[in-house]
């Protein structure tokens, strides 16, 4: 089934995207939307290819990707570490639970002005914002995954003489991996969204800045290009995460 089923699925999935582009083209060609507001798709893709080869745009992508990765990496390290600690130790749990309860639902974008005033307009404030927003989904799903590990697995490891410290890394971490990776996926999407927003608010470079500059000068074509780029970026990163997931979880049933 695999290869053939895969192509059929791919073809069915391509239909709505094709329909969307078709509708877009139709709106323009039949004159429902003036090209200044909705440029034809051909023009946007042409511009996109042109931009992707230009140095300035590549630098914008590089700045965005750097912030995205830095923030996401900090969130993964902190989130998995704190999540495991909270699942393993009642004391850490009691301390962290109320703090997480207060901080998790806080819209971090509202903190951005404070971060700007404290950390300046450079990379730091944006990286911290991305990390703060991506942290909680990862932390919560790590905690959820680690605290639902079957006790029998831990008992077997203890019976086999594994020291407590190693149980955390040899039993709990692998058993919680599916849940952690689900959290990472949500965190990744949120990182993409937040890095772009932060760059839109105040920045001198990055994809969000490209969009804002285009919006200020009413260049509709240039507004679509960074949006499509961040969407592609999200797709590529999601694909990478999916590949990492199927590699890491190769022994698990039905992933």
Partner 1 sequence: MLTGKSVAARLAPVLACMGLLALWQIAALALNSDSFPTALEAMRAIPSILGDKEALINILASLRRMAVGFLAAVAFSIPLGLLMGRSASVASFCNPLLMVIYPVPKAALMPIIMLWLGVGDLSKTLVIFLGVSLPVIYHSFEGAKAVEEKMLWSGAAMGLSSVERMIRIVLPASLPEILTGCRTGLVLALITMVTSEMIARQSGAGNILFNALDMGQYDTVFAMIIIIGAMGIALDVAFESMRQRLVSWSEPQFDVPLSFS
Enter the tokens of residue 111. Answer: 């903190």
255 near partner 1 (CB under 8 A): no
Q: Which of residues 142-181 bind partner 1 (CB under 8 A)?
A: 144, 146-149, 151, 154, 157-158, 164, 167, 172
Length of the chain in terms of residues written: 255
**230 is a contact residue toward partner 1 (CB under 8 A):** yes
- Is the four-CA dihedral 143, 65, 243, 168 of positive or negative sign? negative
- Percentages (nearest 5) of helix, strand, coil residues in the chain: 85, 0, 15
Residues 185-214 that bind partner 1 (CB under 8 A): 186, 188-189, 192-194, 196-197, 200-201, 208, 211-212
Please state whether 161 falls in left (phi above 0), alpha (psi between -120 and 50) or beta.
left
Residue 132 binding partner 1, by CB under 8 A: no
Do residues 192 and 208 make contact, with C-beta atoms less than 8 angstroms apart?
no
Rank residues 3 and 17 by Cβ distance to partner 1 and give the closer one: 17
Contact map string, positions 43 to 82, toward partner 1, x by CB under 8 A: ----------------------------------------
Q: Which of 73, 109, 173, 241 binds partner 1 (CB under 8 A)?
A: 109
Q: Which of 31, 107, 161, 253 binds partner 1 (CB under 8 A)?
A: 107
CB of 233 closer than 8 Å to CB of 162: no
């Amino acid at each position: 089934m695999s290869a053939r089923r895969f192509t059929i699925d791919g073809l069915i999935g391509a239909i709505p995207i094709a329909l969307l582009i078709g509708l877009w083209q139709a709106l323009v060609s039949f004159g429902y939307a003036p090209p200044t507001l909705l440029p034809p798709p051909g023009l946007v893709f042409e511009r996109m290819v042109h931009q992707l080869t230009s140095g300035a745009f590549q630098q914008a992508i590089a700045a965005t990707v750097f912030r995205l990765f830095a923030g996401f990496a900090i969130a993964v390290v902190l989130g998995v570490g704190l999540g495991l600690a909270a699942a393993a130790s009642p004391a850490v749990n009691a301390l962290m639970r109320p703090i997480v309860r207060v901080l998790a639902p806080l819209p971090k974008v509202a903190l951005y002005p404070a971060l700007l005033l404290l950390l300046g307009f450079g990379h730091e404030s944006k990286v911290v914002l991305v990390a703060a927003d991506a942290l909680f989904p990862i932390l919560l799903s790590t905690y959820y995954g680690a605290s639902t590990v079957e006790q029998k697995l831990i008992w077997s490891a203890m019976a086999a003489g594994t020291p407590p410290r190693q149980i955390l890394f040899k039993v709990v971490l692998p058993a919680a991996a599916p849940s952690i990776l689900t959290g990472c996926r949500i965190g990744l999407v949120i990182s993409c969204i937040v890095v772009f927003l932060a760059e839109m608010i105040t920045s001198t470079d990055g994809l969000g800045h490209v969009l804002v500059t285009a919006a200020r000068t009413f260049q509709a074509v240039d507004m679509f290009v960074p949006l499509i780029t961040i969407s592609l970026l999200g797709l590529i990163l999601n694909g990478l995460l999916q590949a990492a997931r199927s590699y890491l979880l190769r022994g698990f049933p039905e992933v």
